[in-house]
Structure 1
Amino acid sequence: MLSLTAPPSFETESNFPPLNHRSMVDKKSYRTRRTSLLDRLGEPLIAHARIAPYSSQILRVRLFHGDVDNFHKMAELASLPRIQELSHAVFDASCRDLFSQKHLERLESWLCTLPWPVAFQCQALLSNGFLNPVEILHELKPKVAELLKGEHTRCVDILRHLAVVIKRDLDNKTLTSSCSTLFNIAKQEFDRAEATTFLRVLSDSDHMCAQVTFTPTGMRLSGPFPDMSNRVLRMFPKSHDHFIRVNFTDEDLMTYRYDREVDNEQYIYPRIRQLLVDGFKIGNRDFEFLGYSASSLKEHSVWFVNPFCDHLGDYWDAETIRSQLGDFTPDDTIYCPARYGARIAQTFSATEPSITIDPSEFETIEDIVSEDTGSCFTDGVGTISPELAEEVWTMLCASRRTKTRRIPPSAYQIRIGGHKGVVVRDHTLSGRKIRLRPSMKKFDADSTVLEISMSFQRPMTTYLNRQLIMLLESNGVPKDVFLELQRRAVQDANAAVDSPDDFIKVIETYGLGHSFALSSVVHQLASCGIIDFRGFKDQDEGLPGFFQRIAKLAVSHALRDLKHHARIPVPESYTLVGVADEWDCLEEGQVYACVWDPRWDEPRWIEGEVLISRSPAVHPGDAQIAEAIGKPPAGSPFELDKLPNALVFSCKGERALPSCLGGGDLDGDIYSIIGYLDLHPIRAPDPADYPKGKRTELDRLSTIEDIADFVVEYIISDMIGLVSKSWNPSLLPFRIHSSMQIATNHLIISDMSDQGPKDPDCIILSELHSRAVDYVKVSIVNLVEPRYISPYVLCG
């Protein structure tokens, strides 16, 4: 008997390659992904399709003569433990009909009678493989009925804790306790704690989010957990439990990965599309596809909703909700499914509500555009008055229950109505004023709540990466510079186990434990003497030992980042949000940057030659030299307002500098300003200037089914990416929307070519990468027909 950590992949074999590789026909066998086993006619086995979601992780293997010896040899090669042979072992593999149609139907009928939160947890116990239908119906059902005589919340929490207890029992490999016994243990442990151990919503910007993950064979349920809300959820404050986040993953709960010899597309398209178009059911609730945010789509995650009546008695389903989000007809947005989906996605961005803006406090100002070239210097950025900015920060601090108010942000990334972008503090505005530009408007909407996507109250660390190292080295930076920075980074990372101060430095450098203020906790425990950290390196017991183990994990994380991603911290450098020079102070090629970490007593100004870049940097000209003006002169607008932790770009010249950095803009993009002179290139190539691609449009209005088709196409393209690692991009398969895969292949080719990233093939890939980045918004297709297949240099 084999117990698997994840269900197996069911595949069928044929001599024909996947549809997207028809030019690769050879003597190999090719496999197609299936959701269950097939019969002799190639149709799904109904009996196996019914039980596959629940019983695929336990396999009974029949061994014949010589199989055990062969398995021992292979297990030894794979460093697996040797099989313990039992001479009188008897395994009961009789048919018990645990997942018969009758039992599943009875279970479904019972779940439909339960309150939704309770039904969700019972379904999770089944779908996550903790209990079978017979155990739930015969043992758990009466226990739940007894709990429902009291508070439903307590019943839900005990069921959630039951899953923890069962998993602990499975991990200990006892497997002897019955469902009733484990339930009693869970109930006793929960009651003994005298308080729920599960996280709750702490502020108005959070909500309790339940999640469903669909895999090739079934679904997994988790939560609900506290999560940041969005505009759509805040429209229905008393109906959050009708919304659910849905993820699409492989059996191991990781994103789908490309396999050259397996046709995943044939499975993914119908499976995921059917869920998006037809929805799914849990308990007595039917869920239908609602939308997604730009960041969630990249993680193959979307939102579903169960139709409901709000507290006023109004009926809401997915279509009704979308109709209230705004007017998407201007600019032919609704004819492009990708752009239509992206506009809807704007309302699903995770944000914090701050204040309501009165229409009289709005002002629209024109963008600053070059008269010669038409380049926009203010693409995505507006301004906000100091009074209004302070009001926003006061409310954010109150909702976050934080006392860190020492350095208010000078810029916010916002959503308001159909506008998105950044607003920077403008000392010339008095009272409550906010100025927005046409480049910030994406659609018409009535919402007047200023939503905050991000507040930039501290400078961020600048890191090197493989792409940037390749570009800088090709532009004349000696490799010894990178090796020395790497040596220092390794030394600093290894020092994390030496003392609390070194530990704090590493976790802050690599952004570890930020969500629960780990660095602050360690600092306060050490400074107050609550914990004796003397001899920190040798501690292995108590709280000091606990933090020592965390320190070792931090070291492992940092070294892994260095090894696999060349994520090397850069001294004398910072990463800041980009804004425009609203006051016409900077000349062409100049920037202004004041950095102020809350741990510092005074701000610091960056002066002299600096290197500006934006990740990802793929084209040789994606890193440019600029001149930082340093501390502003007397009477300068920057003297009146230092604008800490924002990078101010000039609005003069023929082309906006952000657009020269991988096609950046000012709607929230962050830029690295590198003052470390050893990294400044000897030569700086001209920036890329790609023509705009033509977006995919329909000859009719887009529907939600068109958006569903785009979501499926995006997931498939993200999985397949740039399939061929060939020298010549003209040979590449024509579905190459994945920017990550394109960047990887760009790195491979530039590393093997004498010309580095200036290789003509790399220049082509740079343009394809630029299009791929925008694919999620405009569905610009990269069509490059394959002519023949070149060697696959990275297989294995």
Structure 2
Amino acid sequence: MGGKTIQVSGFPSTVNADHVKDLLEKIVGTGNVFAIKLRPPKNISANSKSFAIVQFQSEAHASLVLNAARRNALRSGSNHLKARYAERDIVPRPRTTIFNLQDATLHFGCLLREKVLSVLWSGTNVSVEFGFAMKRIDFCLIYNSKKYKLELSYESIWEIQLHRPPGLQKKFLLIQLFLFIESSEIFVNLSWRNVSVSQVQAAPKIYEQNIRRSGSMYDDPLFNYSRDDTDDQWTRTTDFTPSASIGQSYILCLELPHICYLPNIREYFVYYEVHDDVFHLQRGHSYSSNTCFVPVVKSHHFTDVPYEILFKINHLVQNGTLSGPTLDDNFYRLVSPGYECIDHIKRALEKMSYLKKTCLNPTKWLSEQYKKNRRSRYMLKSPNITLDDDGLVYVYRVQITPAKVYFYGPEINVSNRVVRHYAADLDNFLRISFVDEDCEKLRSTDLSQRSAPGNNTRRTALYNRVLSVLSNGITIGDKHFDFLAFSSSQLRDNSAWMFASRTGLSASDIREWMGDFRNIRNVAKYAARLGQSFSSSTETLKVHKYEVKEAPDVTNGTKYVFSDGIGTISADFADEVSKKCNLTCFTPSAFQIRYGGYKGVVAIDPTSRWKLSLRKSMSKFQSENITLDVLAYSKYQPCFLNRQLITLLSTLGVRDSIFELKQQEAVKQLNRMVAEPQAAIDAIELMPMGEVTNVVKELLLCGYQPDLEPYVSMLLQTFRASKLLELKTRSRIFVPKGRAMMGCLDETRTLEYGQVFIQVSNSADNRGKSIVTGKVVVAKNPCIHPGDIRILQAVQSPLLGHMVNCVVFPQLGPRQVFSNAFFYVFQPHPNECSGSDLDGDIYFVSWDPDLIPTRMVAPMDYTPAPTETLDHDVMIEEVHEYFTNYIVNESLGIIANAHVVFADREILKAESTPCIKLAELFSIAVDYPKTGVPAQIPPELHVKEYPDFMEKLDRATYVSKGVIGKLYREIKKQNPHIGHFTKDVARRSYDTDLIVDGYQDYITEAVWFKEQYDFKLGNLMEHYGINSEAEIISGCILKIANNFTKKNDADAIRLAVKSLRKEARSWFCEMGSDESGGGHEASDAKASAWYHVTYHPEYWGCYNEGYDHRPHFISFPCLDDEEWEVRFHFLDRDNLERTICLSDITFWNLIALIEVEGYSSRDFMYYVRDPGAAVSGMEELTDDDKVEEMLDHIASKGKNVVNITVMRSDAPRPVDLNIGHAYEEQVPLSEIRVPVVYEVDNSGVLFPSPVK
């Protein structure tokens, strides 16, 4: 055993840390003692001794002290000291520096012109410390008798320049903070290396030095020493300079003596320039419209600049593209719609945002850009994607950091009930979020320091800043935004909604419209109910109160509600709701909904005549709103293991080798899919990749090879890379014999306690249903208690045959069982699984025998902590304080990480005492948004050392011997390859078979639309910080900008891409329509032109002028399917109409649709091929070839409408109605009936003729 840290014992109890340091530095030399923790004995007496943990600069220094102790040469007074190696370092990874500067002058400001800095504030006697490899630069200075530290990360720096004016005795080192958008795809060993992505915000973290006081031994300087600053010596604070000058500046300028030595900065920083030229400092003035939120600019009163333009200008100022002091009257005149078309202004400002350096003459740049736009032969389109989906809206967003604000948008969001109702006021809605300067979440200790004597908490300036924003609002131009509310997911992300009041409508008015919350006297619950209306949802149909039944809850005489959060929906109304959700191939068995003040799930009840049957447990507040909003629905969802599930299953007896084998099988499947067409089809059917799944399937079925066709290849390679990354970072192993399923209740009361009903489809279109029987394992993420894993019995139940892709739990249960001398009250099975319910939770369900544990333990008691009830109506100010306190008390991530560590190290794994205690704390933390009761983590459960698979590079680590560690080290060997569309690939892959006659007529327009498509796609990618086209098209995102999350923003990204592709489809349909009209041949020629301008090598790299960092995009010709109308005509019921993408019109999808109406694959489907031939013109659809033949026939007529007649298998077939020969048969007179005569109407639909 060795190391830099030792334990020295035998000190008199009266010594302090300085005495220990001085004593040991006599042996190792001054400055070589790095840190000391001096601890007194537990029982102090005259003879008691203290010990010290001491960390040295190097292992050699530690050896010197150990050798001295062995020779009895280590003494403190008359006391002989003993020494041995310590288990771990005090500071696991001490910061090393490459360079220090003293007595420098630090200027903050903005460029006014080239080589002229407008200085907003200066600090003198500044010390500067350049961290190792320049990953961090620290500036320390004193202002108003307080010591401050500014911590600047490498990622916040765009450029460093050294100016050495000739003849002067000083030089200037300029550090430019910049939000520059650039992507480089370096993906090594499942990790990103040297990747620069957008949304890296640029401001230093600001700290104020604590006043060290005696008190707690762990904080007292008498017992602790650190050569370098430690975190507990500093408290985060806000901008302390006059007029918030740090926040207004994007240039930090160090004024240095000319002879001052500097390290070789170019060795560490690629954007470093040296200039031997004149550089001027000029006294500047604040340019921000207010000093609470900087930098924010506004136009002068006599210039009319629309809010959307002003918002974009602020974005450009905040990221350094525009310099605030340069914006004058001429500039604001140029961005006024009175001077230029607003779409041209938007387009120009969007293009400006990608300049590689600050635009110091924006009036000249804009004037030149407008001239180019006017010369264009085509009308320039808005840079924003056109939204033709009612479920999407554009919303502006503001990020607030401790020092600055950043404007983003407008961004595409999935709509919610509130913004839909107030659609005319969309520009008055604003989303805000509180983040740190590096876009990471604020830590609780940033807002509330816990190192004060007695461990009392002390609110910091950051706490006050957050609370002030919520209380006082934000002003942007002429709009003042006030706090509105936040959803539960927003609370977790430290985000909220704000609203700018106008005459007749305020934030308070909107809350009043949402519902009556006056009877809710708990602040946390009140805030949660406000947020209920802000869940992203799809608006469907209105349901009047008289169409809704109030159903009783099921309790079975216990304290538990077995029906918690679930009601029913009639089968007919479910079909109507499905249509409004644009579900074409199936009707879900269950919907997660919001209706008035109700929230939860409604599952189909075939016997119900009520549109909705809702229970009391679903009612959260009173509301007059009668629109049914759908948040989610039951569907095919693949399921995956993760680290929590693996840990619990391992604890309960599942062998490590099982998980290792499952991971090997998953990797094998991923390796095959990038080379074998059928393996690729199988993989993407089991694990769909979003909107492009059908396109990729069609290309593979047409004979394109997954490793040769560039578009298919890049999508499949990215899909594989994303799955491998999930295996490495989350142990996310695909489970073929399993599903992720919405939980539902057995309304038929046929399931016994311990039983479930599970019917699954084999693909996303509900094809190939099967019922699971036998033992299954059920859990709900997140899960960290061993009792969260339940082993249940899946059974057949004919009365539940309509329930597909959901797990149906029993509502029956034995009330009490006498066991181990105690009465045990049975919990509902959902409650056993992490304290869940049936209001929309998704459960992990697997019937893989290898994954079913050999034993099961009692579930945890998830009864929530008692809540505080106020003696008055909740005030909105109390909600502000609750939001801010949530950031202080949010501990879910800390507890979950601690559980991972203890479960990995402890012999009993998740059943160990620390893990059980952490599970209890986790439950409290999960309920905190509802109860307001925080979880307090005791010191003994704080983690000191992390397993290697957690990749905590800045903390002490160890090599995990557990199953997660084994899986991690095995998957690290995989190295995914993602190819790029180079010019050489273009030469090899260009397919001349796709070039048809007449394509040349559309080339010019095709190039124009390709430019528009690439511009909008590139903007979307860079906005979200997504590195490759394949990632954003497939939805398999490998890395996203820090201020977004894959989980929360995946839907918005997917829908944004879908909207862009729909918009491009509309261009395709309009293209050349004036010259040649529609028609099949024209469509083929247009498609050929789009392919040619994308894939032909002569067009490679010809797009994205001015955006050199963007690659050549190839998704342009591979658009979404055309949408067709499919109309089913039944003889015994109403017609069924669906809008379906062309590639989804397959034989089995048509069967799935008629099954909704009670028909089956045994029945007959016909379409009219020749309307003039009566019955003989009918063609039966028997397989996919016949369906394809029908689609070609209809397309040739220039129509996108399919009419299909459906007949029962016992009805006469049209072919039998057209028999041309006669035959005799004796029939009793009593059985003779009037024959049915069939006719064909103008739409080509077969129908029985009325009897004359």
TM-score by length of 1: 0.83
Q: Is it true that 1:11 corresponds to 2:176 in the alignment?
A: no
Match of 2:300 in 1: 109
1:668 is the counterpart of 2:847: no
Report how far residue 140 of structure 1 moved: 2.7
Matches within 5 A, 1:496-515: 496-498=673-675, 512=689, 514=690
Q: Identify which range, 359-368 or 418-427, moves more after superposition.
A: 359-368
1:608-627 to structure 2, matched below 5 A, reads: 608-627=774-793
Q: Is contact 2:593–2:602 with CA below 8 Å preserved after alignment? A: yes
> 1:167-202 deviations in whole A, cap 9, x for unaligned?
4321xx697985532563377469656433412332
Offset from partner CA, 1:328-354 (integer Å, 9 cap, x none): 233xx2x22111100101011111111
Task: Verify the 8 A CA contact 1:326 1:444 in the aligned structure 2.
Answer: yes
- CA separation of 1:322 and 1:657: change in aligned 2, threshold 3 A: same
Q: Which residue of 1 aligns with 2:467?
A: 273
Work out whether 1:92 is the aligned partner of 2:279.
yes
Partner residue of 2:666? Answer: 489
**Pairing 1:565–2:724 present:** no
SS of corresponding position for 1:35? coil
Question: If each structure's helix is expressed as a fraction of its own residues, which one has the higher value?
Answer: 1
Amino acid at match of 1:9: P
Contact 2:300 2:329 in 1 (8 A): no
Shift of 1:685: 0.9
Identify if the C-alpha distance between structure 1 residues 94 and 59 changes in structure 2 by more than 3 Å, giving closer, same or farther.
Answer: closer
Contact 2:751 2:810 in 1 (8 A): yes
Residue matched to 2:1149: none
Indicate conservation of the 8 Å contact 2:590/2:633, yes or no. Answer: yes
Q: Which residue of 1 aligns with 2:510?
A: 321
- Distance (Å, rounded) in 2 between the aligned partners of 1:482 and 1:20: 50
Structure-2 separation of matches of 1:486 and 1:17: 52
- The CA deviation at 1:241 is 1.4
Whole-Å Cα distance in 1 between the matches of residues 390 and 565 of structure 2? Answer: 27
Which residue does the alignment assign to 1:148? Answer: 338
Structure-2 separation of matches of 1:744 and 1:505: 35
Which of the numbers 624, 643, 647 marks the counterpart of 2:807?
647
Cα separation, partners in 2 of 1:763 and 1:741, compared to 1, 3 Å: same
> Per-residue displacement from partner, 1:196-244 (whole Å, max 9, x unpaired)?
3412332333322111111222111122133222222233231121111
Q: Give the structure 1 partner of residue 850 of structure 2.
A: 678
Residue 232 in structure 1 maps to residue 424 in structure 2:
no
CA distance in structure 1 between the partners assigned to 2:868 and 2:278 by the alignment: 58
Distance 2:719 2:755 in 1: 38
Q: Which of 877, 883, 886 is matched with 1:711 structurally?
A: 883
What's the counterpart of residue 694 of structure 1?
866
Q: How many angstroms does 1:92 deviate by?
A: 2.8
Supply the distance in 2 between the matched residues of 1:195 and 1:19 (Cα, whole angstroms): 66
Q: 2:658 touches 2:850 (CA, 8 Å); kept in 1?
A: yes
Q: Distance in 2 between matches of 1:286 and 1:222?
A: 17
1:533 to 2:533 alignment: no
Say which of 480, 489, 494 aligns to 2:657: 480
Structure 1 SS opposite 2:424: coil
Q: Counterpart amino acid of 2:426?
A: H
* SS of 1:198 mapped into structure 2: coil
Which of the residues 600, 607, 614 maps onto 1:428?
607
Question: How many aligned residue pairs are there?
Answer: 719
- The superposition leaves residues 682-706 of structure 1 with CA deviations (integer Å, 9 ceiling, x where unpaired) of 1111111144302244443321111
Q: Within the alignment, does 1:338 sit opposite 2:524 as a pair?
A: yes
Deviations 1:367-406 (A, max 9, x none): 11122x3322110000011111111111221xxxxxx522
* Partner residue, 2:500: 306
Aligned-residue offset at 1:486? 1.3
Q: Secondary structure at the match of 1:238?
A: helix
Name the SS for the 1:363 alignment partner: strand
Change (3 A) 1:254 1:364: same
1:471 is aligned with what amino acid? L
TM superposition shift of 1:500? 6.0
**1:365 pairs with one of 551, 568, 583:** 551
Q: Deviations over 1:253-286 (max 9, x none)?
A: 3322577999596132111111100001001000
Secondary structure at the residue paired with 2:262? helix
- How far, CA to CA, are the matches of 1:24 and 1:748 in structure 2? 26
CA RMSD of aligned residues (A): 3.2
Cα distance between partner residues in 1 of 2:828 and 2:536: 29
Task: Note if 1:130 corresponds to 2:321.
Answer: yes
Confirm whether residue 386 of structure 1 aligns to residue 571 of structure 2: yes
Structure 2 residue runs without a partner (length 5+): 1-173, 179-200, 451-458, 814-825, 947-951, 957-1252
- Structure 2: which amino acid aligns with 1:306? A
Residue 643 of structure 1, CA deviation: 1.3
437, 458, 462: which one aligns with 2:615: 437
Contact 1:200 1:225 in 2 (8 A): no
Does the CA contact (< 8 Å) of 2:415 and 2:538 recur in 1? yes
Q: 1:448 aligns with which of 615, 618, 626?
A: 626
Instruction: Please give the alpha-carbon distance, in whole angstroms, between the structure 2 residues aligned to 1:276 and 1:111.
Output: 31
The alpha-carbon deviation at position 358 of structure 1 amounts to: 1.4
Describe the superposition over 1:417-468 as per-residue Cα deviations: whole angstroms up to 9, x where unpaired. 11100000001113x5210001001111111111111122x22111111111
* 8 Å Cα contact 1:576-1:647 kept in structure 2: yes
Residue identity matched to 2:859 = P
> How many Å separate the matches in 2 of 1:598 and 1:507?
10
Tell me how far apart the structure 1 counterparts of residues 278 and 884 of structure 2 sit (CA, whole Å). 43
8 Å CA contact 1:561, 1:567 repeated in 2: yes
Question: Structure 1: which 5+ runs fail to align?
Answer: 37-43, 310-314, 398-403, 719-737
Choose from 210, 219, 236 the match for 2:405.
Answer: 219
1:575 to 740, 746, 752: 740
Counterpart in 1 of 2:831?
659
Letter in 1 for 2:640: Y
CA shift, 1:31, in A, is: 1.6
Q: From the two aligned structures, give the one with the greater strand fraction.
A: 2
Name the SS for the 1:435 alignment partner.
Answer: strand
Higher RCO structure, 1 or 2 (CA under 8 Å, sep 6+): 1
When residues 124 and 82 of structure 1 are mapped into structure 2, their CA distance, relative to the original with a 3 A threshold, is: closer
Percentage of pairs with the same residue: 27
Instruction: Label 1:568 to 1:90 Cα distance change in 2 as closer, same or farther (>3 A).
Output: farther
Q: Secondary structure at the match of 2:664?
A: helix
Label 1:554 to 1:289 Cα distance change in 2 as closer, same or farther (>3 A): same
Q: One-letter code of the match for 2:578?
A: W
Q: Which residue does 1:312 correspond to in 2?
A: none
Q: Which residue of 2 aligns with 1:285?
A: 479
Letter in 2 for 1:379: D
Contact 2:550 2:616 in 1 (8 A): yes
**How far apart, CA to CA, are the structure 1 residues paired with 2:401 and 2:676?**
44
The answer on 1:376 being equivalent to 2:558 is: no
- In the alignment, is the contact (CA less than 8 A) between 2:447 and 2:460 conserved in 1? no
- 1:695–1:781 CA contact under 8 A, matched in 2: no
Shift in alpha-carbon separation, 1:533–1:475, aligned structure 2, 3 A: same
Q: 1:552-588, CA deviations, whole angstroms, 9 ceiling, x for partnerless residues?
A: 4333322221111111111210011000000011111
- 8 Å CA contact 1:165, 1:186 repeated in 2: no
Distance across 2 between alignment mates of 1:780 and 1:377: 25
Describe the superposition over 1:133-164 as per-residue Cα deviations: whole angstroms up to 9, x where unpaired: 3443255323223x3356xxx51x44443344
2: CA distance, partners of 1:752 / 1:416 = 47
Structure 1, 458-467 or 440-449: larger mean CA deviation: 458-467
CA distance in 2 between counterparts of 1:179 and 1:476 reads 71
1:777/1:508 Cα in 2 relative to 1: closer, same or farther (>3 Å)?
farther
Equivalent residue letter for 1:296: Q
Q: Structure 2: how far apart are the matches of 1:102 and 1:643?
A: 59
Which of 353, 364, 367 is the aligned partner of 1:180?
364
> Could you say what secondary structure the match of 2:335 adopts?
helix
Structure-to-structure mapping, 1:541-552, within 5 angstroms: 544-552=709-717
**Which residue is 1:249 aligned to?**
435
CA–CA distance in structure 2, aligned partners of residues 259 and 46 of structure 1: 26
Partner of 1:727: none
Larger Rg: 2
* CA spacing shift, 1:583–1:294, aligned 2, 3 Å: same
Report the Cα distance in structure 1 between the residues aligned to 2:618 and 2:579, rounded to whole angstroms: 25
Amino acid at match of 2:650: E
